[in-house]
Amino acid sequence: MGVTLAYDSWGEGPHTLLALHGFTGSGATFEHLRPLLGRSVRVVAVDLPGHGRTPLPEKAGRDGFLETVDAVVQLARELGGRVDLLGYSQGARVALGAAVRAPDCFGRLIMESGSPGLHRRQERSERREADAKLVDFIRAKGVDAFVERWEALPLFDGLRRLPEPEQAALRERRKACTAQGLAGALETLGLGVQPDYWPALHRQRLPTLLLTGDQDEKFTTLARRMAAELPVVWRRAFAGVTHAPHLEAPEEYVREVLSFLQTPWYEAPQFEHAILAREATHS
């Protein structure tokens, strides 16, 4: 039967934005954006498998990743199709998979601190080994110990500059996860089991916005590489921000997202003709 994604919906407006959170998050990850987004966009904030109210996929490894991608596509169809898609980190990788799988279901794609996958087999093997060790740690030590270790990563330096109440709320959301859910999510949604989507980028016709923090060198470099492959792409690196722009610079983040979503000429009839002409010019 596949996995069914739990979600909450809020906001109003002409655009439906299907939002996919990162590892240790849930649909509540985007709740702080409600006052900024809610009057312009209908947000459908999903709990990805192993997080919140959504169970783990029935299948393991790569098959579990693809099962999750299919669940996102199915939800988009239930929402009427041609929805816009936003993903953060783990969610950005799933979002890209869904856009590649069924581009007809989506209007535009926003990837925040995301990756198309690992290109070399050895890299994927090494990442699976690293994730397996993390899975063992979670199952042996529990969620609280894991969250302490996770929050200490240099990747999240910017989050430690947030006001203490915001840090505490984020920590509580992370601790609300279960050890089984987080371990299973690493095993089914981890970078090591994700398909390599690099070869598919040049065929990706959805207008795409790539968002990163300029202090997150790894993912900003990835965004530059992706931008060189994608036919229709915009990119923004937020100054002084690390891995989570939606938390570290929410006002700027929302301005960028709304500007991208509300630009009407993306839907112009000439859009596909322009793509074909561009390809003909370079063939």
* Among the listed residues 197, 191, 194, 260, the one whose alpha carbon sits nearest the alpha carbon of residue 225: 197
Q: What percent of the chain has pLDDT over 90?
A: 87
pLDDT of residue 265: 55
pLDDT of residue 273: 40
pLDDT tens digits, residue range 136-194?
999 999 999 999 999 999 999 999 999 999 999 999 999 999 999 999 999 999 999 99
pLDDT of 123 higher than 80: yes
pLDDT of residue 269: 43
pTM (two decimals): 0.93
pLDDT tens digits, residue range 196-210?
999 999 999 899 999
What SS3 string covers the chain?
Answer: CCCCCEEEEECCCCEEEEEECCCCCCHHHHHHHHHHHCCCEEEEEEECCCCCCCCCCCCCHHHHHHHHHHHHHHHHHHCCCCEEEEEECHHHHHHHHHHHHCHHHEEEEEEECCCCCCCCHHHHHHHHHHHHHHHHHHHHHCHHHHHHHHHCCHHHHHHHHCCHHHHHHHHHHHHCCCHHHHHHHHHHHCCCCCCCCHHHHHHCCCCEEEEEECCCHHHHHHHHHHHHHCCCEEEEEECCCCCCHHHHCHHHHHHHHHHHHHCHHHHCCHHHHHHHHHHHHHC
pLDDT tens digits, residue range 213-259?
999 999 999 999 999 999 999 999 999 999 999 999 999 999 999 99
pLDDT of 31 higher than 70: yes
| Long-range residue pairs from 75-80, CB within 8 A, at least 24 positions apart, any chain | 75/5, 75/7, 75/18, 75/44, 75/46, 76/18, 76/102, 76/105, 76/106, 77/105, 79/16, 79/18, 79/44, 80/16
